[in-house]
Amino acid sequence: MASGSRWRHLGTFRARGVHGGVALAEGIDRMVTGIESPVDSERGLAARLRYLTASDAGYEAMDRAGIHVRPRTLMAWLAEEQTPSKANLARLDAAYWDLRRRNVIADLKRRLNNRGRGTRIEIDPADQSAVDRRHQRDLETRSVNVRGAVWDRAVDAWIAEDMGELEAVWDDIIQSTLGTDWDAYTYVSSIGWSA
């Protein structure tokens, strides 16, 4: 994989990985915690319904998830007199996580920006184990500190599910921190951080 531009076409020589923008989204997803009980358990369903019906934002999340039931049906769910269908259970779970993500945006930005100090990330390069030896590049795990408006952009793109912007954010991160070999880290095995 001698030419840098070949890294833009991951898999040409059987390297495996994901675009760094995808890995950023996955890392931010891991930072969002919530109800661990499954939605189809009594406890999990009750907790999700309480969370979703506690605010107008919760009703908006249910609407976005496609939950369109009569108030009487919703009241029966809350009173545990009726159980939602499997399809509505899946929608309730999706609505819960959508609202949870939206409610933690400010906290995510604060944690990642770390009072201007940023967050150190570890970048594991694309897996070259299936690549013919003559096409492999000598890559190693890299550790860089990411700070500034980059994290705000990343979180905003993540909540908007804007993969194009997440990819652009990733390109900005690697271009500004990794020097001339940045394109070799366009695709990665994983990205890790503790924030």
Distance CA 79, CA 92 (A): 16
Per-residue pLDDT reduced to its tens digit, 40-74: 999 999 999 999 999 999 999 999 999 999 999 99
Distance CA 123, CA 91 (A): 34
Give every CB contact of residue 66 below 8 A, 6+ residues apart in sequence. Answer: 91
Domain ranges of the chain: 4-31+107-193, 42-103
Per-residue pLDDT reduced to its tens digit, 107-152: 999 999 999 999 999 999 877 777 778 777 778 889 999 998 999 9
- Whether 185 and 174 have beta carbons less than 8 Å apart is answered as yes
pLDDT recorded at residue 9 = 62
Q: CB neighbours (10 Å) of residue 12?
A: 12
Tell me the average pLDDT across 95-103.
96
HSE (side-chain half, CA atoms, 13 Å) at 186: 15
Comparing 3-17, 49-63, 166-180, the range with the smallest average pLDDT is 3-17
